[in-house]
């Protein structure tokens, strides 16, 4: 499978599929005419494909026929029917299947496809792939070749960072990497609302809070010091930051974050 001639197919065209596609198009990694897309509702994926210069096709099997790597981006409840529909063509044409369906293991997908030799990759991206600042978890089965795995990995490295994650830890990644952007957005909005309370406009307060989060995250990634060590650096004895940190802990800030992760993991593990 040569990278320059690679055709990518999407079965499902929801928010995450579009975030991935938008990221690739913006980065120049993939040409829109090399992306083939189909979902249950033409009225939703058709206009999107036209706007972005993608190839809209009429069926899931047509996606399989015309592409090299097929990304499954559907709800878990309909995954079984989708795999039953495409399994014969997947086996006959030896396609690579990439699943971003939450809570469904590689073994379950392999069983549904009725073959123990299908090349499978399971991924969990977050929405920030749309701006090429995402983090994507990767787990492959034993049949995915090193070459095809590297092609897939490079696709997602164009959208940010990747991390090889054991399947047993995917639910944890969902909480820390997948759902956490919503937690961070909530934190930024809360900071901004506090700024509004003291007279800033919501727009200005949001910009200040968001930039503080961006800079802080970059500093964490750029240093060998732990986040807690960085907290100590900002916290002068008897100062304003310490007062704020103590108030946050009194309100249960750290506990609320751990509980959010607990709830996300529990929900992802539901069957």
Residue 15 known to bind ligand: yes
Considering the domain architecture, whether residues 35 and 78 belong to the same structural domain is answered as yes
CB-neighbour burial class of residue 224 (10 A; exposed 0-12, middle 13-18, buried 19+): exposed
| pLDDT tens string 242-255 | 999 999 999 999 99
pTM value > 0.85: yes
Domain stops at, among 119, 135, 170: 170
Compute the average pLDDT of residues 81-106: 92
Compute the average pLDDT of residues 218-244: 96
Residue 75 known to bind ligand: yes
Residues of 107-131 as b/e, b for ≥16 C-beta within 10 angstroms? eebbebbeeeebbbbbbbbbbbbbe
| pLDDT tens string 131-141 | 999 999 999 99
Residue 124 known to bind ligand: no
Residue 139 known to bind ligand: no
| pLDDT tens string 32-51 | 999 999 998 888 899 999 99
Residue 73 known to bind ligand: yes
CA distance linking residue 247 with residue 18, whole number of Å: 40
- DSSP 8-state symbol, 175: I
Enclosing domain of residue 14: 3-170
Considering the domain architecture, whether residues 129 and 192 belong to the same structural domain is answered as no
Tracing tokens 């971003």 back to the chain, one arrives at 100
Confidence of residue 271 (pLDDT cuts 50, 70, 90): low
Please calculate the CA angle 9-156-92 and round it to the nearest 5 degrees: 35
* Number of domains comprising the chain: 2
Compute the average pLDDT of residues 153-182: 95
Considering the domain architecture, whether residues 30 and 155 belong to the same structural domain is answered as yes
Considering the domain architecture, whether residues 187 and 138 belong to the same structural domain is answered as no
Q: Provide the pairing of β-strand 134-140 with 96-99.
A: unpaired
- Contact status, residue 84 vs residue 74, Cβ threshold 8 Å: no
| pLDDT tens string 149-164 | 999 999 999 999 999 9
| pLDDT tens string 21-32 | 999 999 999 999
Considering the domain architecture, whether residues 157 and 52 belong to the same structural domain is answered as yes
| pLDDT tens string 187-198 | 999 999 999 999
- Contact status, residue 127 vs residue 15, Cβ threshold 8 Å: yes
Q: Is the pLDDT of residue 73 over 90?
A: yes
Residue 60 known to bind ligand: yes
Confidence of residue 54 (pLDDT cuts 50, 70, 90): very high
Domain stops at, among 144, 170, 196: 170
Considering the domain architecture, whether residues 86 and 217 belong to the same structural domain is answered as no
Considering the domain architecture, whether residues 143 and 52 belong to the same structural domain is answered as yes
In 3D space, the residue among 101, 89, 39 whose CA is nearest the CA of residue 64 turns out to be 89
Residue 11 known to bind ligand: yes
Residue 130 sits in a domain of what CATH number? 3.40.50.720
Considering the domain architecture, whether residues 30 and 74 belong to the same structural domain is answered as yes
Residue 92's pLDDT is 86
Domain stops at, among 138, 154, 170: 170
């Amino acid at each position: 499978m040569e990278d320059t001639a690679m055709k990518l197919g999407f079965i499902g065209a929801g928010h995450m599929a579009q975030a991935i596609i938008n990221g690739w198009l913006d980065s120049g990694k993939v040409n829109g005419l090399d992306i083939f897309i189909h979902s249950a509702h033409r009225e939703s994926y058709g206009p999107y494909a036209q706007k972005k210069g993608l190839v809209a096709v009429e069926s899931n099997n047509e996606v399989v026929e015309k592409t090299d790597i097929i990304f499954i981006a559907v709800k878990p409840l309909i995954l079984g029917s989708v795999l039953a529909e495409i399994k014969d063509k997947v086996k006959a044409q030896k396609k690579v299947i990439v699943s971003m369906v939450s809570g469904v293991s590689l073994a379950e997908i392999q069983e549904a496809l009725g073959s123990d030799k299908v090349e499978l990759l399971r991924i969990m991206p977050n929405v920030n792939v749309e701006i090429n600042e995402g983090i994507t978890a990767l787990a492959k089965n034993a049949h995915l070749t090193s070459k095809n795995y590297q092609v897939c990995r490079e696709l997602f490295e164009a959208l940010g960072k990747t991390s090889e994650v054991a399947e047993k830890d995917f639910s944890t990644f969902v909480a820390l990497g997948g759902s956490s952007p919503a937690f961070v957005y909530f934190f930024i909005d809360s900071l901004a609302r506090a700024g509004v309370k003291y007279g800033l406009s919501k727009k200005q307060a949001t910009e200040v809070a968001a930039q503080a989060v961006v800079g802080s995250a970059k500093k964490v990634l750029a240093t060998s010091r732990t986040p807690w060590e960085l907290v100590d650096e900002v916290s002068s004895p008897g100062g304003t930051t310490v007062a704020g940190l103590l108030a946050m802990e009194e309100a249960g800030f750290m506990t609320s974050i751990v509980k959010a992760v607990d709830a996300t993991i529990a929900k992802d593990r539901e069957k």
